[in-house]
């Protein structure tokens, strides 16, 4: 990988070790790799606050792009539900 060493991270107790680039671990571990952070941030109020109150509007606009019955990949959602 470009830009440095890699870290081994287990995503769950049953998961095999996965190597992640060190820059990803350093940048995003606080949000994605710590269970306490996930529990805190996986909350619609927190997500909406991070998005300056625009969570529902952004979800509505994104979902407005899909037609009923279409097969689409899930739109990215850092935390929260669609």
- Specify whether the CB–CB gap between 47 and 55 falls below 8 A: yes
Element (H, E) at 8: strand 6-10
Give the predicted TM-score (pTM) of the model: 0.50
Could you read off the pLDDT of 18-58 as tens digits, one per residue?
788 888 888 888 887 888 888 888 888 888 898 999 989 98
């Amino acid at each position: 990988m470009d830009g440095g060493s890699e870290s081994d991270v287990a995503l769950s107790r049953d998961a095999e070790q996965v190597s992640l680039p060190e820059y990803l671990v350093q940048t995003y571990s606080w949000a994605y790799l710590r269970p306490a952070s996930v529990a805190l941030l996986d909350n619609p109020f927190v997500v909406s606050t991070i998005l300056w109150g625009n969570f529902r509007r952004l979800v509505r606009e994104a979902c407005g792009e899909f037609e009923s019955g279409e097969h689409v990949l899930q739109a990215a959602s850092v935390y929260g539900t669609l």
